[in-house]
Structure 1
Amino acid sequence: MSREELNRQAFKEEALELLGELETSLLELEEDPANDEVINRVFRAMHTIKGSGAMFGFEDIASFTHEVETVFDLARNGQILVSKELLDLTLLARDHILSMLEGEEQGLGARAGEVIRGLKALTPSRTQTEPDPAVKTATPTCATDSSMNTWRIRFAPPKNLFMSGTNPASLLEELCEMGEHHVIMHTKDIPALPQLNPEDCLVWWDIILTTASSEDDIRDVFIFVEEDSDLTIQMVGSCQGIDEESYKLIGQILVEKNDITKDALERILLERKPIGQLLSEAGLVSASQVEAALVEQQEVKRLRQTAGAEPQASSIRVPAQKLDFLVDLVGELVTAQARLTQFASEQNDARLQAISEEIERLSDELRDNTLGIRMLPIGSTFSRFKRLVRDLSQELGKRIVLETHGEDTELDKTVIERLNDPLVHLLRNSIDHGIESPEERLAKGKNPEGRIELSAEHSGGEVLIRIIDDGAGIDPERIRAKAVEKGIIAPDSLISDKDALMLIFAPGFSTAEKVTSVSGRGVGMDVVKRNIDALRGRISLESVPGQGTTISVRIPLTLAIIDGLQVQVENSYFIMPLSAVEECVELIRKDKDRADLINLRGQMVPYVSLRAGFEIPGQTPEIEQVVVCNSQGRRVGIVVDRVIGEHQTVIKSLGKVYQDVRGISGATIKGDGSMALILDIAALVA
Structure 2
Amino acid sequence: MNIPDPVETFRQEARELLDQLEAGLLDLEQDPSNADLVNSTFRALHTIKGSGAMFGFVAVAEFVHEFETTFDRIRKGQSRADTALIRVALDAKDHIHLLIESPHAEIGAGEKILASLHAIMEGSAPAEAAATPEPPASGAERKWRLEFYLPPDALLHGTNPLLLLEELAQIGPVSVTALTGRIPALDVLDPEIPHIGWRVDIEADDPAAAIDDVFLFLRDTMELTLAPLEDSVSIPHEPPAEPAESPRSARPSTPRRPDNDRSDTVERTAATSLRVPAERLDELMDRVGELVIAQARLSQIAGLSSDGALKTVAEELERLSSGLRDTTMGIRMVPIGTLFNRFRRLVHDLAGELGKPMEFITSGEDTELDKTMIERLADPLVHLIRNAVDHGLESADKRLAKGKPAKGKVQLSAVYSGAEVAISISDDGAGLDAARIRAKAEENGLITPDTKLTDQELYQLIFAPGFSTAGTVTSLSGRGVGMDVVKRTIDGLRGTIDLATVPGVGTTATLRLPLTLAIIDGMLVRVGNGRYTIPLAAVEECVELPEGIDAQGSGRNFLDIRGTLVPYLRLREVFDTGTPAEPHQKVVIVSSGEGRVGLVVDQIIGNNQTVTKQLSKLHSNLKSFSGATILGDGTVALILDTAHLVASGQAYVDRNIGGRAA
User: Scaled by the length of structure 1, what TM-score is found?
Assistant: 0.80
Separation in structure 2 between the aligned mates of residue 403 and residue 668 of structure 1, nearest angstrom: 40
SS at match of 1:562: strand
SS at match of 1:471: coil
SS at match of 2:355: coil
Deviations 1:40-62 (A, max 9, x none): 11111111111110111111111
- CA drift of 1:418 comes to 1.1
- CA drift of 1:138 comes to 5.0
Determine if contact 2:146/2:200 at 8 Å carries over to the other structure: yes
- Asked if 1:534 is matched to 2:534, the reply is no
Partner of 2:225 in structure 1? Answer: 235
Change (3 A) 1:562 1:174: farther
Partner of 1:408 in structure 2? Answer: 366
Task: Identify which range, 345-354 or 80-89, moves more after superposition.
Answer: 345-354
Separation in structure 2 between the aligned mates of residue 609 and residue 586 of structure 1, nearest angstrom: 13
Deviations 1:251-294 (A, max 9, x none): xxxx97689xxxxxxxxxxxxxxxxxxxxxxxxxxxxxxxxxxx
Change (3 A) 1:157 1:681: closer
Partner of 1:597 in structure 2? Answer: 557
Partner of 1:121 in structure 2? Answer: 119
- Asked if 1:358 is matched to 2:316, the reply is yes
Partner of 1:264 in structure 2? Answer: none
SS at match of 1:315: coil
Partner of 1:630 in structure 2? Answer: 591
- Asked if 1:212 is matched to 2:212, the reply is no
Change (3 A) 1:413 1:331: same
- CA drift of 1:490 comes to 1.0
- Asked if 1:683 is matched to 2:644, the reply is yes
SS at match of 1:600: strand
Partner of 2:339 in structure 1? Answer: 381
Determine if contact 2:456/2:498 at 8 Å carries over to the other structure: no
SS at match of 1:619: coil
| 2:119 alignment partner AA | A
Unaligned runs of 5+ in 1: 143-148, 191-198, 249-254, 260-298
Determine if contact 1:425/1:528 at 8 Å carries over to the other structure: yes
Partner of 1:66 in structure 2? Answer: 65
- CA drift of 1:678 comes to 1.1
Deviations 1:477-518 (A, max 9, x none): 221111111111111111122221222122221111111111
Task: Identify which range, 201-210 or 415-424, moves more after superposition.
Answer: 201-210
Correspondence list, 1:221-300, <5 A = 221=217, 232-237=222-227, 246=234
Partner of 2:526 in structure 1? Answer: 568
Partner of 1:279 in structure 2? Answer: none
| 2:444 alignment partner AA | K
Structure 1 counterpart of 2:539, from 573, 578, 581: 581
Count of paired positions: 613
Correspondence list, 1:156-167, <5 A = none
SS at match of 2:216: helix
Change (3 A) 1:343 1:116: same
Change (3 A) 1:339 1:14: same
Change (3 A) 1:594 1:236: same
SS at match of 1:677: strand
- CA drift of 1:367 comes to 1.4
Partner of 2:405 in structure 1? Answer: 447
Deviations 1:658-677 (A, max 9, x none): 23332222111111222111
Change (3 A) 1:46 1:660: same
- CA drift of 1:319 comes to 1.9
Structure 1 counterpart of 2:426, from 439, 464, 468: 468
Partner of 1:510 in structure 2? Answer: 468
- State which structure, 1 or 2, has the greater radius of gyration over its C-alpha atoms: 1
- Asked if 1:99 is matched to 2:98, the reply is yes
Change (3 A) 1:346 1:27: same
Partner of 1:153 in structure 2? Answer: 148
Deviations 1:109-162 (A, max 9, x none): 3321220111221344999699999x95457549xxxxxx8642224888986x
Structure 1 counterpart of 2:481, from 500, 523, 547: 523
- CA drift of 1:213 comes to 2.7
Separation in structure 1 between the aligned mates of residue 368 and residue 107 of structure 2, nearest angstrom: 40
Partner of 1:266 in structure 2? Answer: none
Change (3 A) 1:591 1:247: closer
| 2:115 alignment partner AA | R
Deviations 1:61-94 (A, max 9, x none): 1111111101111110122222222211110111
Separation in structure 2 between the aligned mates of residue 417 and residue 320 of structure 1, nearest angstrom: 11
Separation in structure 1 between the aligned mates of residue 140 and residue 284 of structure 2, nearest angstrom: 57
Separation in structure 2 between the aligned mates of residue 175 and residue 567 of structure 1, nearest angstrom: 73
- Asked if 1:607 is matched to 2:568, the reply is yes
Partner of 1:275 in structure 2? Answer: none
- CA drift of 1:414 comes to 1.4
- CA drift of 1:619 comes to 3.2
Separation in structure 1 between the aligned mates of residue 488 and residue 152 of structure 2, nearest angstrom: 54
Deviations 1:448-475 (A, max 9, x none): 0111111111122221111121110112
- CA drift of 1:219 comes to 3.9
Separation in structure 2 between the aligned mates of residue 150 and residue 189 of structure 1, nearest angstrom: 19
Deviations 1:14-63 (A, max 9, x none): 11110010011001100111111111111111111111101111111111
Separation in structure 2 between the aligned mates of residue 132 and residue 441 of structure 1, nearest angstrom: 50
- Asked if 1:456 is matched to 2:417, the reply is no
SS at match of 1:590: coil
Separation in structure 2 between the aligned mates of residue 384 and residue 359 of structure 1, nearest angstrom: 42
SS at match of 1:657: helix
| 1:564 alignment partner AA | G
Partner of 2:659 in structure 1? Answer: none
Separation in structure 2 between the aligned mates of residue 34 and residue 160 of structure 1, nearest angstrom: 38
Determine if contact 1:476/1:500 at 8 Å carries over to the other structure: yes
SS at match of 2:359: strand
User: Scaled by the length of structure 2, what TM-score is found?
Assistant: 0.83
Change (3 A) 1:44 1:616: same
Correspondence list, 1:298-317, <5 A = 314-317=272-275
Separation in structure 2 between the aligned mates of residue 234 and residue 38 of structure 1, nearest angstrom: 25
Separation in structure 2 between the aligned mates of residue 94 and residue 53 of structure 1, nearest angstrom: 14
Determine if contact 1:179/1:209 at 8 Å carries over to the other structure: no
Separation in structure 2 between the aligned mates of residue 429 and residue 456 of structure 1, nearest angstrom: 19
Determine if contact 1:54/1:62 at 8 Å carries over to the other structure: yes
Determine if contact 1:49/1:65 at 8 Å carries over to the other structure: yes
Deviations 1:516-537 (A, max 9, x none): 1111111111211211111111
| 1:590 alignment partner AA | D
Partner of 1:13 in structure 2? Answer: 12
| 2:529 alignment partner AA | N
Identity rate, percent: 47
Separation in structure 1 between the aligned mates of residue 412 and residue 226 of structure 2, nearest angstrom: 47
| 1:235 alignment partner AA | T
| 2:198 alignment partner AA | D
- CA drift of 1:216 comes to 6.5
Separation in structure 2 between the aligned mates of residue 216 and residue 371 of structure 1, nearest angstrom: 40
| 2:298 alignment partner AA | L
Separation in structure 2 between the aligned mates of residue 621 and residue 9 of structure 1, nearest angstrom: 63
SS at match of 2:509: strand
| 2:222 alignment partner AA | T
- CA drift of 1:429 comes to 0.7
Unaligned runs of 5+ in 2: 184-190, 237-241, 649-662
